[in-house]
Amino acid sequence: MSMVSMTISVNEEIRQIMKKFPEINWSGFVGKAIEQKVHELQWREEMLRKLEGEREADEWAVNLARGARKGRFEKLRKRGLA
């Protein structure tokens, strides 16, 4: 996998604090944070797609149940029970 370079900006105060922790690979840290966020967003998109597919099935089931109830109500009304 090829890598690309990015430049980020932080204010001077943050940069000075970062310098106090030279053991941290800030570039690697930021890269991993971006990678993690991208995976979270991809997962979210996938779940939303799946939920959308389920919504169609849910609507079908609700409409089927409504149709069945309406049919029963009409039968009961004709028999004088409703």
Secondary structure (3-state) at 10: coil
Separate counts of helices (H) and strands (E) for the chain:
2, 0
Provide the token pair at 58.
Answer: 């849910």
Is pTM, for the whole model, over 0.75? no
Residue-by-residue pLDDT tens, the chain, 82 positions: 788 999 999 999 999 999 999 999 999 999 999 999 999 999 999 999 888 878 777 788 888 887 777 767 677 777 776 5
Q: Please give the torsion angle defined by the CA atoms of residues 66, 69, 71 and 73, in that order, rounded to the nearest 10 degrees.
A: -130
Measure the CA–CA gap between 14 and 81, rounded to whole angstroms.
Answer: 77
Model pLDDT, residue 82: 57
Residue type (1 letter), 22? P
Dihedral sign, Cα of residue 46, residue 51, residue 57, residue 63: negative
Q: Where do the domains of the chain lie?
A: 36-82
